[in-house]
């Protein structure tokens, strides 16, 4: 069985789902889905801060999640985004 592939909404790179970070927006507030099991639509980004920031700046989260999304400031500055391998 092959591994699921997802696309980063920031840079467009396709990667195995385990390499990307999943976000959901219950109640319209963007949050990281650490369990990857939250119901509803999900949007994925690479772990690079530039990908997250590009997705936020171009409203890619809102388009992908099909709703207006508010992005908390602290979410974009968290250290989990940094991935030295990418």
pLDDT greater at residue 2 or residue 86: 2
Which residue range is the domain that position 46 belongs to? 5-81
Question: pLDDT above 70 covers what percent of the chain?
Answer: 87
Is residue 1 predicted with pLDDT exceeding 80? no
**Residue 51 in contact with residue 23, Cβ under 8 Å?**
no
32-59 residue pLDDT tens: 998 889 999 999 999 998 999 999 999 9
Query: Does 86 reside within a domain?
Result: no
Query: Does 32 reside within a domain?
Result: yes
pLDDT class of 26 with cuts at 50, 70, 90: very high
Domain harbouring 33, CATH code: 3.30.1230.10
pLDDT greater at residue 65 or residue 78: 65
pTM for the structure as a whole: 0.86
Is residue 27 predicted with pLDDT exceeding 50? yes
Query: Does 40 reside within a domain?
Result: yes
Phi, psi of 19 (to 5 degrees): -85, -10
């Amino acid at each position: 069985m092959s591994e699921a592939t997802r696309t980063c909404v920031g840079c467009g790179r396709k990667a195995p789902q385990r390499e990307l970070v999943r976000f959901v927006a219950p109640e319209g507030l963007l949050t990281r889905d650490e369990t990857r099991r939250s119901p509803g639509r999900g949007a994925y980004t690479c772990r690079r801060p530039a990908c997250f920031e590009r997705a936020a700046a171009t409203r890619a989260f809102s388009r992908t999640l099909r709703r207006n999304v508010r992005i908390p400031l602290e979410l974009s500055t968290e250290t989990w985004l940094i991935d030295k391998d990418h």
